[in-house]
Amino acid sequence: MSSTLSDSGNGGDWAGDRDALADILAFHLEAGVDVALGEEPVDRFAESQAARAAPPAAPDSPRRTAPEGAAPGDAAPAPRRAPMPAPAIAAPASPPPPDVAALEAREAAASAPDLDALRALLERFEGCPLKHTATRLVFADGTPSARLMLVGEAPGRDEDIEGKPFVGRSGKLLDRMLAAIGIDRTSAYIANVVPWRPPGNRTPTPQETAICLPFIRRQIELANPDLLVCLGGPAAQTLLGLRDGITKGRGRWVEYDTGSRTIPALATFHPAYLLRTPLGKRMAWRDMLAIEDRLAQKPSGGGGD
């Protein structure tokens, strides 16, 4: 959830009152507000007070007159409270229905001749409602020509702020996992199925995923890695069609058709899962060794293996 933080409206002076400010921030965080949408605070209390004080009659609304026969000075019935003014934040134009958006996404993604063009198309794409709640597009990190491409589910809060995938706590663990097999971010290419952060880090809906899918598929095709690794069940379901849960389906090489060639692909645990479930690290370690082993082999010319 996001919000503009506004003054409490009680006329109090918060300057210097760090505890009170910290309490307000903690309250907002607990309520799910973790992003400020505007640079300037908006005082909604002042807005509603102004609305109440405003003259009730709109220019084209029927005038209230005293009933016929009433004595001069008899008041007409009290006006209703004026409606709340529209929020100061402009509502985004409503996105097309999901099936239309998915079609537009397919056409747009297919038209991208390279990764820069794909990123530019995504920046302009209006079909995914997540774009309007996210701070920015989180396209990729690392080296597009790397032999290894890793794909997660969707950016979280830290990624939304920095504009790069896997930079928060789970990203730090991913860095350590890669380092254990002698790889760093510059020798891999990292992206997500959904390139905008879902509000409050919720799971992307099937519609949002379907709309974003043509873009990540094209991104993989254009990056043209030798190995694809899906981080976590959702990415593996979406890209590899994994039906079993990740615990059963991880660690198995499958073939992925990029559109131009077939490459080996593997699902492993999402680092966020490993942070919650350290026991899984043993199996993730095996997957990392399998990745290292594959990278040591000569790339397959294009027919998969």
Residue 165 binding ligand URA, by CB under 6 A: yes
Q: How far is the CB of 192 from ligand URA (least distance, A)?
A: 5
What is the C-alpha separation between 251 and 246, in angstroms, rounded? 9
CA angle at residue 233 from 303 to 167, to 5 degrees? 95
Q: Which is nearer to ligand URA, 95 or 198 (CB)?
A: 198
Residue 156 binding ligand URA, by CB under 6 A: yes
Q: How far is the CB of 64 from ligand URA (least distance, A)?
A: 58
Q: Which is nearer to ligand URA, 187 or 201 (CB)?
A: 201
Residue 287 binding ligand URA, by CB under 6 A: no
Q: How far is the CB of 201 from ligand URA (least distance, A)?
A: 8
Quick one: which of 129, 152, 204, 264 contacts ligand URA (CB under 6 A)? Answer: 152
Binding string to ligand URA for residues 95 to 124, with x set by CB under 6 A, is what? Answer: ------------------------------
Quick one: which of 4, 105, 148, 170 contacts ligand URA (CB under 6 A)? Answer: 170
Give the pair of three-digit tokens for residue 123: 């920046």
Q: Name the closest residue to ligand URA (Cβ).
A: 152
Q: Which is nearer to ligand URA, 159 or 287 (CB)?
A: 159
Binding string to ligand URA for residues 246 to 275, with x set by CB under 6 A, is what? Answer: --------------------------x---
Q: How far is the CB of 216 from ligand URA (least distance, A)?
A: 12
Q: How far is the CB of 281 from ligand URA (least distance, A)?
A: 17
Which range in 102-110, 112-120, 146-154, 202-210 contacts ligand URA by CB under 6 A?
A: 146-154
Residue 155 binding ligand URA, by CB under 6 A: yes
CB contact at 8 A, 137 and 123: yes
Residue 166 binding ligand URA, by CB under 6 A: yes
What number of chain residues touch ligand URA (CB under 6 A)? 11
SS (H, E, C) the chain: CEECCCCCCCCCCCCCCHHHHHHHHHHHHHCCCCEECCCCCCCHHHHHHHHHHCCCCCCCCCCCCCCCCCCCCCCCCCCCCCCCCCCCCCCCCCCCCHHHHHHHHHHHHHHCCCHHHHHHHHHHCCCCCHHHHCCCCCCCEECCCCCEEEEECCCCHHHHHHCCCCCCHHHHHHHHHHHCCCCCHHHCEEEECCCCCCHHHCCCCHHHHHHHHHHHHHHHHHHCCCEEEEECHHHHHHHHCCCCCHHHHCCCCEEEECCCCEEEEEEECCHHHHHHCHHHHHHHHHHHHHHHHHHHCCCCCCECC
The residues of the shown chain that bind ligand URA, judged by CB under 6 A, are 152-156, 159, 165-166, 170, 192, 272
